[in-house]
Structure 1
Amino acid sequence: MSWLPLLLFLLSTAAQESVNAAESNILTLHRRIEHSNASRLECLRTAIHGDGWRQRMIAGVIGRRRKANEVDVPLPSLESTIEMPVWSGAYTGTGQYFVRVRLGTPAQPFLLVPDTGSDLTWVTCRYRGTTDLMSAVKDGRKNGQRSRRRRAKRIFEADLSRSFHPISCSSMSCQTELPFALTTCPKATSPCTYDYEYAQGSSAQGFFANESATVEFPNRRRMKLKGLVVGCTSSAVGSSFVSSDGVLALGHGPNTFVSRATARFGQRFSYCLVDHLSPRNATGYLTFGPNPFLPPHPSAPLILDPFLQPFYYVAVAGISVAGEVLRIPPSVWNYRRGGGVIVDSGSTLTVLADPAYGLVVNALSHRLAEVPRVQVDPFDYCYNWSSPKAAATCVPSFEVHFVGGARLSPPVKSYLIDVADGVKCLGFTSTPWPGVSIIGNIMQQEHIWEFDLENQRLGFHPSNCATGTLFP
């Protein structure tokens, strides 16, 4: 995953078994800084490096993807529209957002990365038999990979949870429903293991279990969200998870947190990400159920083909700069022809396949030609914004056109981003063609994004992510 120190608000950890069914659940998103002394540019460089690895990981997953299993969710849908409060949060430069989640019985709190590109929810975990388990994991790993213990502040003590139930490797679930499970099965009662690969060369190793999460409502009542598939991760490779306790899988698939939560809360979820340079008293939020703060809004088709899981493809028709539609080949937007566009909360910058990237940055840079250029690695187009000519420059508009007519018109700061004092850069990176384009989280900032899974629509509307407050 890509990664654009202070957690300002902790939710209560008490658990309660029932709650009024006509309510939606909100989990507060916080941003966290990994190295408080790192400059804005250093943080962005780290995030961009992760974006590159993440894009290659996404391409690899799509290339290997086989038809996924259908979702089996016995819980009834609830079409509730309860308004939920928004809490203040913090600015970080890592490119990561964090959500507070309570797992187990009694509940234990953790800070997880909410990732729309992941189909495995996992937490750093300790469990009896871990030594034997990890021997099995290592036997199933690729040659040349090395495991190292992950540094973490919080560890899920699985033995202390009454609701923690390991999934055996001989179970039908392990053999047919968990596509990233390892084939290693020393004996019928051994846990179902995984070696899950991420961007930046990162991976998480452990075993699957069924577990419950405690969710909280505005009136402070709580309920258990049962039947979750959760990874008990005892080892990880890479630096991606140093400042988190794991990942909350928001991807589309039969075993993600989204599949269980939306079955309980109305087949939709939404989030609002604050400005990535926001002060520490600002937060965004993640909701399950209809978003009470989302007014009538434009929407675009979501492509939820099982072949594309866990990613959320959106039907893009084109891009315009300064009101002029660019002549980008239609194949760039067509996932059946090696292209397509996904909405990804785990990528920082917006990634464009080469045919689109060249046209977009050329159109933008042409209209910024009067502003002095500066060299800032790894960006291609950066400008000295302290120059008097910058003050007299009108930055051109940038719009994403979706199939059906909806348009995303982000603020200038979402595509001409601040990387250092007095320096702005075009916030795009390229990927070779054929390749998947990605709408990253900076482009998504200060918008509500609603994923309507039942109707396969992606809704969006400008917002400052504060309760009931929307930009004109």
Structure 2
Amino acid sequence: MMPGRWVASVLLLALHGLLSLQPAARAEMQGDDGSIEDGSSIHFPVSPPVVPDAAEERREHFRALEAKDLFRYERLLAMSSPRNGSRRQARQTSKVPDVLSDTSEFAELPMRSALNIAHVGMYLVSVRFGTPALPFNLVLDTANDLTWISCRLRRRKGKHYGRSSAAQTMSVGADGVPVKKATTHFFRPSKSSSWRRIRCSQPECGVLPYTTCEKEFTQAASCSYHQKVLDGTVTIGIYGMEKATVALSDGKMAKLPGLVLGCSVMEAGLTVDAHDGVLSLGNGEVSFGVIASSRFASRFSFCLLSANSERTASSYLTFGPNPAVMGPGTMVTDISYNNYIHVAFGFRVTGISVGGQPLDIPPEVWDDKLRHGGVVLDTGTSVTAFVPAAYDAVTAALDSYLGHLPRITDMPGFEFCYNWTFTGDGVDPAHNVTIPSFDVELQGGAVLQADAKSVVMPEVQPGVACLAFRKLLEGPNIIGNVLMQEHIWEFEHRTGVMRFRKDKCTNHHLKGNSTTANIHQAYAPGPSASSDF
């Protein structure tokens, strides 16, 4: 078996004992008529990031976007360890308060954030968890293996404490003064009849990441986790098994059982106050993507709308066959599994061309067998980031097309900015500007052709456009969602194959399914949605 290869059968074997204890989880997935046809798919609405219109808010948006990407990068570096290293580190360096591991008594710690970055560069997925099913907005994350939702646990007498009844998070305003922020939608396990807590005494707890069970524990102790990474982002909680209510391709609703869910009672850091949690699609044993796709042809796909899409626009995350993947221009390449960041995956780059001219980039930059080489795809990162050898070549090539424009040097997070109003398609004869083609050449002959707005970020502030790339001190290189937007992507980990093609992502809605549409519309970011989450 290849290192890092995502094989759903491994997960199912590891959790067999746990599933055998739960009739609800053991049951086959069923639709309204008691069965699901072969070849079915399930769908979850995905909403794009919101870019504000006002000049100052737009400037702050991109400043926060850069901060968020930097912390994501540090998080990936923190995961640069052999498989299961994160679990060992959690046990050695983190100690969850005893109250979290005792069934009869639970504590809730306040959620705080150092910066309000609501919806900055994040794609949100609407998923219904629990019985009865309730919708939650979770960040689409291909470089994470822990799916978690902000939780409210209760003590024996039902008393809640730690989080206020209003369930408000805290952020720091521009003047440094803490301000009240969004209301989070909490998952309440006590109100879900399908929730099954995992105990430290169950052997299945040992296959879960970031676990913090002590060597000596009571039979009642919950299987707890503590995910802490270099960027300061922390989530602490307990593991359980849960169901999700999903929309099938024929419009019916069904239950998806056997999902590993983190019930998070404490979150902190710059990336946790704009949503209800994280939906993991990474290469991990308990990733939501692993479990869900194992029931649907071992594949999932998504299409990332442009950040400039209408506020009401949405696309879909699909598990199972998706006809939209196959069409004119569909590219096929192998999935690359990073040996050092096991939760991440990507593709093998053979070169980059700008304006049809190959760039002089050392091949070792793309070698995923080297500790700091290779490329990972990260939907949680916005701006694509390269190590110096690649970044310098890319920016020099693009600057040769834009260097005659007045440079702007005081734009935080961006090195190459120009006093120029982006015209949409990248062609502006009046200023002698044509954004060149940008091709990422992949193993097997596939080519990722980026649009102009994925290479140059328009209107970082009024009249200023910037190259959409960032320099990394060390690898792996990161392909962010700006470069991935307006493409449909499919990942079939059982065969190690990736497919993608250009697509506006506006025609993937389920027809005649008002239930799914309502899930998304109830939580879709709107002009004033920054205070809704």
- Residue equivalent to 1:399: 439
Structure 2 CA distance for partners of 1:35 and 1:188, relative to 1, 3 Å: farther
Q: Please say if residues 416 and 427 of structure 1, whose CA atoms lie closer than 8 Å, have aligned partners that are also in contact.
A: yes
Please point out which of 38, 53, 69 is paired with 1:51.
69
**Does residue 1:382 correspond to 2:400, yes or no?**
no
Q: What is the TM-score with the length of structure 1 in the denominator?
A: 0.82
Q: After the TM superposition, which of the residue ranges 373-382 and 37-46 deviates more from structure 2?
A: 37-46
Q: After the TM superposition, which of the residue ranges 300-309 and 44-53 deviates more from structure 2?
A: 300-309
In structure 2, distance between residues paired with 1:110 and 1:117:
20
Please point out which of 312, 316, 326 is paired with 1:285.
316
- Residue equivalent to 2:121: 95
In structure 2, distance between residues paired with 1:223 and 1:334:
42
Q: Please say if residues 126 and 138 of structure 2, whose CA atoms lie closer than 8 Å, have aligned partners that are also in contact.
A: yes
5 Å-filtered alignment, 1:61-210, equals: 61-66=79-84, 94-129=120-155, 152-175=183-206, 177-184=207-214, 186-197=217-228, 200-210=231-241
3-state secondary structure, aligned to 1:190:
coil
Deviation per CA, 1:235-267: give whole Å up to 9, x if none.
111242222111111112221111111111111
The letter for the 1-side match of 2:335 is L
The letter for the 2-side match of 1:30 is S
Deviation per CA, 1:1-35: give whole Å up to 9, x if none.
xxxxxxxxxxxxxx958442332111110136598
Q: After the TM superposition, which of the residue ranges 413-422 and 219-228 deviates more from structure 2?
A: 219-228
The letter for the 2-side match of 1:462 is K
- Residue equivalent to 2:44: 27
- Residue equivalent to 1:319: 352
Q: Please say if residues 300 and 457 of structure 1, whose CA atoms lie closer than 8 Å, have aligned partners that are also in contact.
A: yes
- Residue equivalent to 2:381: 347
3-state secondary structure, aligned to 1:364:
helix
Deviation at 1:308, TM superposition (A): 4.0
Q: Please say if residues 150 and 237 of structure 1, whose CA atoms lie closer than 8 Å, have aligned partners that are also in contact.
A: no
Q: Please say if residues 49 and 307 of structure 2, whose CA atoms lie closer than 8 Å, have aligned partners that are also in contact.
A: no
Deviation at 1:352, TM superposition (A): 0.4
Structure 1 residues without counterparts, runs of 5 or longer: 1-14, 70-91, 136-148
The letter for the 1-side match of 2:284 is G
Structure 2 CA distance for partners of 1:150 and 1:156, relative to 1, 3 Å: farther
**Does residue 1:258 correspond to 2:323, yes or no?**
no
Structure 2 residues without counterparts, runs of 5 or longer: 1-30, 88-117, 163-179, 423-427, 510-533
Please point out which of 320, 326, 330 is paired with 2:363.
330
3-state secondary structure, aligned to 2:433:
coil
Deviation at 1:129, TM superposition (A): 4.2
3-state secondary structure, aligned to 2:385:
strand
Q: Please say if residues 341 and 436 of structure 1, whose CA atoms lie closer than 8 Å, have aligned partners that are also in contact.
A: yes
3-state secondary structure, aligned to 2:325:
coil
- Residue equivalent to 2:513: none
Please point out which of 453, 466, 470 is paired with 2:506.
466
The letter for the 1-side match of 2:342 is Q
Q: After the TM superposition, which of the residue ranges 225-234 and 453-462 deviates more from structure 2?
A: 453-462
3-state secondary structure, aligned to 2:418:
strand
Structure 2 CA distance for partners of 1:294 and 1:63, relative to 1, 3 Å: same
Structure 2 CA distance for partners of 1:68 and 1:157, relative to 1, 3 Å: closer
In structure 1, distance between residues paired with 2:143 and 2:430:
37
Q: After the TM superposition, which of the residue ranges 223-232 and 210-219 deviates more from structure 2?
A: 210-219
- Residue equivalent to 2:107: none
Structure 2 CA distance for partners of 1:307 and 1:383, relative to 1, 3 Å: closer
Q: Please say if residues 338 and 345 of structure 2, whose CA atoms lie closer than 8 Å, have aligned partners that are also in contact.
A: no
**Does residue 1:299 correspond to 2:342, yes or no?**
no
In structure 2, distance between residues paired with 1:31 and 1:150:
21
In structure 2, distance between residues paired with 1:390 and 1:170:
71
Q: Please say if residues 319 and 325 of structure 1, whose CA atoms lie closer than 8 Å, have aligned partners that are also in contact.
A: yes
Deviation at 1:36, TM superposition (A): 8.7
Please point out which of 204, 214, 217 is paired with 2:248.
217
The size of the alignment, in residue pairs, is 418
Q: Please say if residues 335 and 498 of structure 2, whose CA atoms lie closer than 8 Å, have aligned partners that are also in contact.
A: yes
In structure 1, distance between residues paired with 2:235 and 2:67:
19
In structure 2, distance between residues paired with 1:225 and 1:234:
24
The letter for the 2-side match of 1:302 is I
Indicate the percent of aligned positions where both proteins have the same amino acid: 34
3-state secondary structure, aligned to 2:453:
helix
Backbone CA RMSD of aligned residues: 2.9
Deviation at 1:330, TM superposition (A): 1.0
- Residue equivalent to 2:303: 272
Deviation at 1:390, TM superposition (A): 6.3
Q: Please say if residues 82 and 339 of structure 2, whose CA atoms lie closer than 8 Å, have aligned partners that are also in contact.
A: no
In structure 1, distance between residues paired with 2:345 and 2:362:
21
Q: Please say if residues 29 and 97 of structure 1, whose CA atoms lie closer than 8 Å, have aligned partners that are also in contact.
A: yes
Deviation at 1:455, TM superposition (A): 1.8
